Amino acid sequence: MKAAWAVLSVVCALSAQTKPGVDSTSAEWPMAPGSYSNTRYSTLNQVNRSNVGSLKLAWSFETGLTRGHEAAPLVVGDTMYIVTPFPNRVYAFDLNKNGGRKWEYHPTPAPAAQGVACCDTVNRGAAYSNGKIIFNTFDVHTIALDAATGKLLWKTKLGDYNLGESITMAPLVVKGKVLVGNSGGEFGVRGWVTALDENTGAIVWRAYSTGPDKDVLIGANFKPFYEDHKGGDLGLKSWMGDQWRIGGGTVWGFLSYDPEADLIYYGTGNPGPWNSEQRPGDNKWTSTIFARRPETGEAVWAYQVGPHDEWDYDSVNECILADITFQGKPRKVLLHPGRNGFVLTLDRLTGQVLAAGAFTHVNTVKGLDYKTGRPVENEVKKTAMGKTIKDICPAAPGGKDWQPGSYSPRTGLLYLPHNNLCMEWAGVKANYIAGTPYVGAEVKYYAGPGGHRGEFTAWDVANNKAAWKFPERFPIWSGTVVTAGDVVFFGTMDRWFRAVDARTGKTLWQFQTLSGIIGQPTTFLGPDGKQYVAVMCGVGGWAGAVVSAGLDTRDGTAGNGFGALMADLHKYTPRGGVLYVFSLP
């Protein structure tokens, strides 16, 4: 039976998570999302609603770089670690000495790799594991350093930037395997996630997003929930000819891990090119959520969120793991706030969609067939070559692009920084030349309903609807963190680092930074027993490239559509990169 995604018969059956799930200790922040569950929830509560207004700057550090700073500061013991955008320098700071520098490491990524940046030469952070700091460089290498000294332990090449590949994502380390995915979906690359041996850097397995089952690591134990996901070699048969070889499906978002189920979860990117008439079929397994075994890469289930994606709606967004009650019974779920504008609630053991709801204005999809799991698309908004389609909502950057949300088990709310954008789309023919853009669409973005370009939404998981929301002048391109003090931290592109009440959305504190914020805030317990909050500013990324890369705003299609949309951003922020660390007096 078909039902509107925003109107569900099951909404009252959902209740909030009752425990932090697989979160690690909140005294530290050892990986970009804080923990395997990707909740970005901290149990620290020294900083809370009653006193957050007294936060003061404890110390800061200027990186000297001017591209987008998207990484999360990590904290392990008495040391903080950051990774910069290209050239991906790593810094270690002594928390006993107000951020005194312990060491720094300067890799030497190939300068030419910057030419395949679809949006910006960003890096989303590192991971700590067993005395090692592990990170990726833009020119498709993964590097492990000794966390105490910064000494190089190993370096592994994973791909070829000459083909359009890059790496911007933060790695995840699970059971001795370093998990890394590639970027480059707009350059006709073939998406993959790769596991490396944590101790040696040797490649253990690689799972492609397209192609035959043997390449996708689909075998006898693959048990997808929906019928049209069953059958052999669908990653090949759902494409025309050999298009799967340059079909996208890159893996540049955040990965999650459930130790009890022993499954990793992640989403794949859009199919290429954007011109969907050039790639008939469902284009599996792009725009898909996968569950895999970390030691072998074997696929256990998959759910294609966007079959034959027509609007660049990727499914790379974070998969947040929570334990809830559904229809009166405990259920282990995966929350996926997607670029298509919906929060999906899936059973993370089976891949079944339990509930869904729109957190922003959506007109490309009318509903969901819960029997098949397929979206019911609005035929009026389908794209075509040689035809301009107006008022497509959300725009290609999605209801929410990469910017990660957070989830509080105390409030049962999912905190979403996101966009409020619509677009005009004109399909054109794309020609594949290795290492060059392979898009096939001219797009222009503009503000959605209300005239503002960004929103912050608190999503009520129990009732599958927004609990509260507020507008922002620009897209909110930063991540969020929520604490047991019922405070949510996030940054804006016009230079404000804010703390809001997790229950009402009321602004409790704000601090103006040197440059716009697109980074991921983190919080931790310092060696002195005090709670600190850290974030990097440095405008850029896809939304901020108009400033960081100096785009020509007279060209409405510059920056794949963001040039004209963000033409006024330079009035509100300069370029720059600074790490800020805050605490109570």
The residues annotated with a catalytic role in the active site are: 186, 270, 312
Q: What is the signed CA dihedral for 303, 196, 140, 88, rounded to 10 degrees?
A: 110
∠ CA 559-316-203, rounded to 5°: 105
Q: Strand pairing of 127-129 and 263-267? A: unpaired
Distance CA(59)–CA(49), nearest Å, equals: 23
Is-contact 138 157, C-beta < 8 A? no
Distance CA(110)–CA(120), nearest Å, equals: 15
Token look-up 């301009």 returns: 388
Q: Strand pairing of 90-94 and 329-337? A: unpaired
Is-contact 410 486, C-beta < 8 A? yes
Distance CA(321)–CA(41), nearest Å, equals: 11
Distance CA(32)–CA(175), nearest Å, equals: 17
Distance CA(41)–CA(190), nearest Å, equals: 33
3-state class of 277 per DSSP? helix
Q: Which residues contact 241 (CB under 8 A, 6 or more apart)?
A: none
Radius of gyration from C-alpha coordinates of the chain: 22
